[in-house]
Amino acid sequence: MVNALLLEFRVRNYRSFRNENVLSLVAASDRSLERTNTVGTGIPYLPRAVRGAVVYGANASGKSNLIRALQVMRGIVLESASVQHNQTFNVQPFRLDEDSATQPTLFEVTIMLDGVRYQYGFEFTSTRIRAEWLLVYQKAKPQKWFDRRASETGGKDRYEFGSHLVGPKRIWHDATRDNALFLSAAVQLNSEALAPLYRWFAEDLVVFPDGGEMPFEFSTSMLQTPGAGARIAAMLRAADLAITSISAEPRKGVRHSFKLQPGQGPTDVTVEEKDVLLPKFKHTVGGVSAEFDLLEESQGTQKVYSLAGPLFDVLEKGRVVVIDELDRSLHPLLVRQVIETFQDPELNPHGAQLIFTTHDTAQLDNTLFRRDQIWLTEKPRASQVSELVPLTEFSPRKGEALERNYLGGRYGGVPILASRLVDGSPSAEK
């Protein structure tokens, strides 16, 4: 059963995205790969969503900024209610024109939770929330649950509430500071109606920036679960055929913990000795076996191992995982295996979604992706403004050689290379 789906993410005036851009996971009417690559929403007017999306583009074209935008939105939702009154947001608007540098940044998501569609967003500057809104679609017609706008004269924010949002709205409103989200403050004060939306950000949106690099502890903890441990071992064997089994060995270690206070650095530093589970990898070749620590394995094996546990957890719970540069340190066949796992209804029965950026053109394959799952980022040199463009805008034919045409520049999203790169002499663009 599918409980949660991301349908759309909207961003404006964040880093290189000056204009409003939309990443949509609503499936087009195209019937290709419908059984595997799409999932039913239960909403008659939006019947299907895709199980994932891939974003291609040249270096510095904006791919990572799209991932960062989702990560920043999630962080503000989770943390704004607990920050101090005078704390500021580390917002980074587009800075290469004077107007944008002073305008607010916009984030908005449209998600489906248990058959109900939520459209939630906000605008903010470094010092305050400028606007915040929530529309809920229990049927085709939207219900305005709340709409918040900052006063242009410096007075109190203006709120409009719909009748469908129940609870002590005045108390929640009064408790919401200028630099906090109403959603976050209301949930902190036990709003049951808004809790599902907040939990989606907290539990169902998983963002891995910087190539999906992450600690290995989560995967190691999952080794203790027989089913999950077997799946992780199987995935590792696909990366390194000599690995026959994985185990977790407790060792004495030292754990450092601290709180980071803005302007003060680490505080409340504690050091404790405790048992730490470390993975051991058994390799067998020609009847001879040996065990290796994680750091003795290749970078590719280390990354597959660190990602395996979180990915299987996402699949089991039907979450959304967003990964910048999924292909970093991974062989194209392993990347393909991860994609196919998410797009296999039997392996992904709960509708988990995978969104990732990559330079790996081997995945531009009509048998792997629908045309409405492929996106491109462009950043013209003259403006330095990133634009997110769906492949469908180029009207590719069914069966078209996507990889060849992409590398040939038909869809954009490829770098403009100079004829001379490092000799210091003038270069002419090709």
Q: What is the pLDDT of residue 120?
A: 98
Is pLDDT of 210 > 80? no
* Structure tokens belonging to residue 307: 């990602």
The CATH class of the 1-209+324-430 domain is alpha beta
Contact between 133 and 142 (Cβ < 8 Å)? no
Find tokens 């000795």 and name the residue.
273
Tens digits of residue pLDDT in 370-389: 999 999 999 998 999 999 99
Dist CA 328 CA 30 (whole Å): 31
User: Where is pLDDT greater, at 213 or 176?
Assistant: 176
Question: What SS3 state is found at 206?
Answer: strand
Helices (H) and strands (E) in the chain, counts: 11, 18
Of the candidates 255, 277, 256, which has an alpha carbon nearest to the alpha carbon of residue 267?
A: 256
Question: Looking at residue 265, what is its pLDDT?
Answer: 46
When pLDDT is averaged across residues 64-73 and rounded to a whole number, the result is 96
Domain boundaries of the chain, sorted by first residue: 1-209+324-430, 218-302
| Per-residue model confidence as pLDDT tens digits over 102-129 | 999 999 999 999 999 999 999 999 999 9
Q: What is the pLDDT of the chain when averaged over all its residues?
A: 88
Give yes or no for a contact between 273 and 185, defined as CB atoms under 8 angstroms apart.
no
As a whole-number percent, the residues of the chain with pLDDT over 90 amount to: 61
The pTM score is: 0.89
Contacts of 274 (CB under 8 A, 6+ apart): 252, 253, 254, 255
Which range, of 83-87, 208-212, 371-375, 380-384, averages the lowest pLDDT?
208-212
Copy the structure tokens of residue 182.
Answer: 């109403």
What are the structure tokens assigned to 54, written together? Answer: 């891939």
pLDDT at residue 424, as a whole number: 47
Stretch 295-305: mean pLDDT: 86
Measuring CA to CA, which residue among 23, 14, 9 is closest to residue 100? 14
- d(Cα 197, Cα 119) in Å, to the nearest integer? 10
pLDDT the model gives residue 368: 96
Number of CB atoms found within 10 A of residue 241's CB: 11
Mean pLDDT of the 183-205 span: 97
Kindly state the average pLDDT of the residues 325-337: 87
Joined together, the tokens standing for residue 226 give: 């027989």
